[in-house]
Amino acid sequence: MLTAIAPRAIAGTGLIRGAAIIGFGLAIVALLLLAAGPVGWRAGWWGYQFAFMTLMPYAFGTGVAAIAISALALLASVGVGARRGVVIAALGLLIGGSAAYFPWRASQMSGTYPRMHDITTDFADPPSFEFAAAGRAAEYGASADYPGADTAALQRKFYPGIEPARLAATPGQAFDRVMAVVKAKRWGIVRADRDAGIIDAYDRSFWFGFTDDIAIRVTESDRGSRIDIRSGARQGRGDYGVNAARVRDFLAVVNRETP
């Protein structure tokens, strides 16, 4: 009797371990898909749409499958006392969950923010992105032109109170202050013209390396100087509020550090 049961137990343990291995394998595939998006985008192997709109959902779906299979394998492994199966299934859960979380989080955030990615302190005459026109065209990204009244209306509704900084300083002094802030933030500087009061720069996201262009203009005003800024993403239709946060932080630092 015992000899008849033993092979069945061994076979059952083997099936459970096999399921754990399948779950772990799917988790690795999900992780590779998640990493492939930004790596391929940065290397120029594929465009934004494929990297963000195709590979990310595939990573999520594969990660969810890994979670489901690994969870079942973990429960079964615990039930039969298969330690190796427990370890493999637990790793599948951890890796699969991590790979699925980031696309899920991005999807959740996309419904929280308006579909816009161009923020400015001057709707009538936004600082120019002409310095980035060639780069945007090469990336098949957004136009360097300001999107217009609809974007301005969205900014007023969702990001109210973004206004120019006004300093009681000469334009030259204000320019030096602004340059110090830009350097402290480690933005890439494309052009800095003190006489014209213009700073063209960019910042890149950590994961995908998406480029956001930044144009700053310092002009004389009746109080001393006025600082306008425009920050906009090259890719996508939304930015998860990144550019508005960047502009608000920049203005807060400039106003706080007024000499």
Q: How far apart, in whole angstroms, are the C-alpha atoms of residue 161 and residue 65?
A: 45
Section 36-40 average pLDDT:
88
The mean pLDDT value for 115-132 works out to 95
pTM of the model: 0.76
Q: What's the CA gap between 175 and 89, in Å, rounded?
A: 58
pLDDT at 30: 95
CA end-to-end distance (rounded Å), the chain: 90
pLDDT tens figures, 198-217: 999 999 988 787 899 999 99
Q: How many CA atoms lie within 13 A of 216 on its CB side?
A: 33
E strand or H helix at 230: strand 224-233
**Both structure tokens of 144:** 């360097």
Per-residue pLDDT, 12: 53
Q: Which residues contact 68 (CB under 8 A, 6 or more apart)?
A: 23
Q: Buried (b) or exposed (e) across 89-110, using 16+ Cβ within 10 A?
A: bbbbbebbbebbebbbeeeeee
State how far the alpha carbon of 24 is from the alpha carbons of 13, 64, 100, 125, 193, in Å: 16, 12, 13, 55, 55
Closest CA to 222 of 160, 166, 144, 177: 166
**pLDDT range class, residue 38, cuts 50, 70, 90:** confident
Number of other residues whose CB lies within 10 A of the CB of residue 171: 20
Confidence at residue 252, expressed as pLDDT on a 0 to 100 scale? 95
